[in-house]
A = this chain, B = another copy of it.
Amino acid sequence: METHQLFHTIHQLSRELAKQANHTLQPFGLYTAQWSVLFVLKEKGKMTQTELCDYLAVEAPPMTRTIQRLMKQGYVKQVKGEDRRVKIIEMTEQSKAIYPEWEAAILQMNDRLLTGVPDEQREHMKQLLSSCLMNVKENAQKGKLHE
């Protein structure tokens, strides 16, 4: 089977979704990377930067940058942990207050973009993609071990 096309479609879909999300968030002065951090913090409460990186599967340097921007905007604050290397990140009262607006806009966008895709199919895609992602990560590691 022609895997080029499959990978290209994934890449294209990913970019298109990011573009739409950025467009949706623009009126709020937010970008997708910022939003993803705020979303996780709302869901999970305070977290260290490393925990955020692990959860979002992003390397540390971009995370540092995203958090610094969120701090500058006043949407997030850093608290020093017992371990003085660690920086614990949590939402400010301000961002907790505005959060529902952001979420509503994103949910509305998600709904609009997936109009016509039945719920079963969304679930099915999620399952397929998740298992594919795990597979890719495993086989990537195998590739490295053979070096």
Interface positions of A (Cβ within 8 A of B)? 1, 3-18, 20-21, 36, 39, 56-57, 107, 109-117, 119, 121-126, 128-133, 135-137, 139-140, 142-143
Q: Is the interface of A mostly helix, strand, loop or mixed?
A: helix
With A7-B17, A16-B137 given, can you name 8 additional A-B contacts, CB distance below 8 Å? A11-B17, A12-B57, A112-B139, A112-B143, A113-B136, A113-B139, A125-B125, A125-B129
CB distance from A3 to the nearest CB of B (A): 4
CB distance from A18 to the nearest CB of B (A): 7
Contact, CB under 8 Å: A117 / B140: no
Contact, CB under 8 Å: A129 / B9: yes
